[in-house]
Structure 1
Amino acid sequence: MSTVLLLARRIGIVLTLVVILVQPGFGTRAAPSQVADIEVLVVVDRTRSMAALDYEDGPRIYGVQQDLADLAEALPAARFAMLTFGADVELELPFTSDTTTFGTAVDTLRLEGPFDGTGSRADRPLEAMREVLERADEQHPDRRRMVVYVGDGENTAEGEQESFVELEDLVDGGIVLGYGTEEGAKMPEADNLSDEDGYVYDQDRGEDAISRLDEDNLQDIANQLGIDYAHRTEPGGMDAIAADFEASYAFDEGEGAPAEHDLTWVFGLLLLGLVLLELRSWWRALWTSHTALQPTRKEATS
C-alpha cells in the first residue's frame, strides 16, 4: 500500500475521532420522557399575612416554599402550574413538566408589600382557577387535575366569600394547605422579611398588626372543592400527600426537552471501518516481515 493512502487513512481516523467527540447532530426532536397522568394547579396566597412569624418562628411563606419544593420532588413527572393572589391574581407559571422551572417560580415568590394590598380575600383566585382548569381540561381531557390551595384563609376585605363548589367538577383531587396559628403573629415590614424595619402597624388599633389563621374557612374551601385539608406547622410529610394523588406514569415521545438527531453512531461506524483497515494493514505488514525472515533463520541453522 502506498504511503499516501496509509497517511490519508490515519488522518481520517484522527478526524473521525474528533467529530465523534463533538457529538454531531441535526434538527431537533422531543426526547422521550416519563410523564404522569396528573396536572397540579398550585394556588398561593402572597398577601402580607403570609409573612407572619408563626411557622417555626419564621415567616409562613418559608414553610410554603419548602413544602412546594418537596411536593415537586415527590411528583417528578407531573405537570405543575402556579397562580398567586393578593390585590391581583397572576398566572406565574402555565402548566409545565419542567420541575426546575416550577422550583424557580417557587423560590422567587415575593409577597405584597405592607401597603400594596386592599385587604385579603381567600376567594380572589376563584375565577382564574376556573379558567386555568377549564383550559387544561380542553387541551388534555385524559389527564386528572389536582389543586393545591395554599394560604391562611384570612379575609380582611369586605364582602361575602364566594363558594368554590363551582370548581368541584373540574377537580379530581388535591389538598388545601393551611399556614399560621389561631393566636396569630406579627408581620415584618421589610421586603426581606427581617425585623430590621419593625412590623406592620395597625393604625386603627394603635399597635402592631396580627395575622391569624382561619382554619374553618380553609376547611370549608377544601370541602367545597372535594379535597382534603392539612394544617402545616413544620417541614416533612409531603411524600404522603403526593402519594394520595395516585399518579400513574408512562413514557411520552412528545413531552421531553428538545434534542438534536444524533449522528455520532454514523461516524462511529466509519471509525470502526478505518480502524479495521488499519489493523489489517498492520497484520499484513507483520506477516510479510515474518515470512521474509524465515529463509535467513534456516540458513543460520544450517
Structure 2
Amino acid sequence: MTFSPVVPPALLLAVAVVALLLRLITMGQLARRSGHRWTTVWRWSGLTLAVLLMLIAAARPTLGGGDGADPGAAAAADDVPNIFLLVDRSADTAVADHGDGPRIDGIRDDVTALIDHYPQARFALITFAARPSLEWPLSEDAWSLAPTIAGVRPLPAEEVGVNAAAASNVLRYQLIAAGQRTPGAPNLVFYFGPGAPGSKAPQGEFEPVPGSVDGGAVFGYGAARDDAGLQRIADQLGVPYVPRDPAQPVGDAAPEAAGVAAGPAPVERADRTDLYWVFTLAAAVLLLFEIFLNLREYRAARTARREVTL
C-alpha cells in the first residue's frame, strides 16, 4: 500500500494527534463522573474514528504500484509533470467579451485543451474568486477531472471583491506536497483569468517556494482584462504572461518545462487502486448514525416536554 497525501503528511499527523489527545481528555473527564453511560463513550469513540478515517482518506492510500512495480517505469513516471490549474471563477468571468462568448467558456475550453496537450500528466485544479478552493487534488485521473471542469461556473459577485492571487497559499502547499510525493517531477503552473479588473479588494501575491515552479503560463481573458495585474502574477510565478486569442490554440502558447515534451509516450505502470473512498464511506456511515441518534433524542425530548405541558 502506498500513500499520496493531498496535504503535507506532517499536517495530517498533527491533526490526528490533536484529535486523539482531545478525545482522551474528554474520556478521562467522563470516567471520573458518576453515572456515566457506556453509550456515550461508544458514541464519542465513533465520532473520533470518523475523524481518523477522514484523515486516512486524505492520505489517499492506494494498492498496487509499490515494490513490485518496474523500476524503469517508476523512474519514468517520476518525470511526468505535475500541472496545477488556477481558474478564476469570479463574476468577472461571466462577461461576454472573449470571442463570441463569456470568458468562462474560453477558460473551460482552454483547460480541457491543455489536459489533452499533456495526456500523461498529473493535474490539480484550484478555483478562486475572493477565496480559493481545491476542487481536484493532484491526480493522474484526468478522465474523471473532465466533469469537474465542465461544472466550473462563475460565482455571484461578492462585496469583499476579487483577489486575483487568492490561490497563493493553496498553490504553495500543493507544490510542497508534490515535491515530497514526486521529487523528480517538474511542476507547471497555468493561471486562467481576467486579473480582477476593477476590484477594490487588496490584491495578494504569489510566493511559491523558490525553485518549485518549473514552467507554465498566465493566460489573460477578455477585452477589459487587467494586463498589468496579470503580468505581475506571471512575474511572481516566474512564467510568461500570454493574452489569450480565441483563434489561437492554447497548446501553441503553452510553454514546455525543460526536459518535458507535450504528449509523452505512454509509460507502463503497475495498476493502482485508490482506497480513499472506502474510508470516506465508512466515516459517512458513522456520521449518519450519529445524526440519526441526535434526531431521535431531539424528538424524544420534544415529546417529553409536550407531555409535561399537558
Same fold (TM over 0.5): yes
Q: Distance in 2 between matches of 1:236 and 1:69?
A: 14
Give the aligned partner of residue 66 of structure 1: 109
1:96 matched to which residue of 2?
A: 139
The letter for the 2-side match of 1:175 is A
Aligned residue type for 2:240: D
Q: Percent identity?
A: 30
Structure 2 counterpart of 1:219, from 222, 231, 251: 231
- For 2:99 and 2:209, the matched residues in 1 are separated by 33
Q: Among residues 163, 170, 184, which one is paired with 1:128 in the alignment?
A: 170
Q: Could you say which residue in structure 2 is the equivalent of 1:279?
A: none
Residues 146 and 172 of structure 1 are in contact (CA less than 8 Å); yes or no, is this contact kept in structure 2?
A: yes
Residue by residue, what CA displacement relative to the aligned partner does 1:131-181 show, whole Å, maximum 9, x if unpaired? 11111111111111000011111251332x333254442101000010011
SS at match of 1:244: coil
Distance 2:124 2:213 in 1: 14
Instruction: Give 1:251 shift.
Output: 2.2
Contact 1:46 1:86 in 2 (8 A): yes
Supply the distance in 1 between the matched residues of 2:273 and 2:247 (Cα, whole angstroms): 35
- Aligned partner of 2:267 in structure 1 is 251
Q: Contact 2:220/2:241 (CA < 8 Å) preserved in 1?
A: yes
Distance 1:55 1:136, change over 3 A: same
Tell me how far apart the structure 2 counterparts of residues 66 and 117 of structure 1 sit (CA, whole Å). 29
The alpha-carbon deviation at position 230 of structure 1 amounts to 0.8
Consecutive unaligned residues in structure 2, runs of 5 or more:
1-62, 275-310
Distance in 2 separating the partners of 1:86 and 1:136 = 24
User: Aligned in 2, Cα 1:243/1:177: closer, same or farther, shift over 3 Å?
Assistant: closer
Task: Name the residue aligned to 1:175.
Answer: 217
Which one has the largest radius of gyration?
1
The verdict on how the C-alpha distance between 1:55 and 1:63 changes in structure 2, with shifts beyond 3 A counting, is same
Q: Which amino acid aligns with 2:103?
A: R
What do residues 107-130 of structure 1 show as CA deviations (whole Å, max 9, x unaligned)?
Answer: 11121124x452011111111111
CA RMSD of aligned residues (A): 2.6
Q: Deviations over 1:31-64 (max 9, x none)?
A: 9998562000000111000001101131100000
Counterpart pick for 1:49 among 78, 89, 92: 92
- Greater strand share, structure number: 1
- Indicate the larger mover: 161-170 or 136-145: 161-170
Other structure's SS at 1:170 match = coil
- Give, in whole Å, the separation in 1 of the partners of 2:272 and 2:255: 26
Q: Tell me what 2:277 maps to.
A: none
Q: Residue 156 of structure 2 aligns with which residue? A: 113
1:253 Cα offset (Å) = 2.4
What 5-or-longer segments of structure 1 have no aligned partner?
1-27, 182-211, 260-302
C-alpha change, 1:252 and 1:153, in structure 2 (3 Å) is same
Instruction: Measure the CA separation in 2 of the matches of 1:72 and 1:59.
Output: 21
CA 243–130 in structure 1, closer or farther in 2 if over 3 Å, else same: closer
The amino acid of 1:76's aligned partner reads P
- CA distance in structure 2 between the partners assigned to 1:167 and 1:220 by the alignment: 17
Runs of 4 or more above 6 Å deviation: 31-34
Q: What is the one-letter code of the residue matched to 1:73?
A: D
The one of 174, 191, 201 equivalent to 1:149 is 191
Contact 1:86 1:117 in 2 (8 A): no
Matched, 1:230 2:245: no
Please identify which structure carries the higher helix content: 2
- TM-score (structure 1 length as normaliser): 0.60
Q: Which amino acid aligns with 1:80?
A: F
Greater relative CO (CA pairs within 8 A, separation 6+): 1
Task: Supply the distance in 2 between the matched residues of 1:221 and 1:54 (Cα, whole angstroms).
Answer: 22
CA distance in 2, matches of 1:215, 1:167: 25
- The corresponding residue for 1:15 is none
- Aligned pairs, how many? 199
Separation in 2, partners of 1:154, 1:29:
44
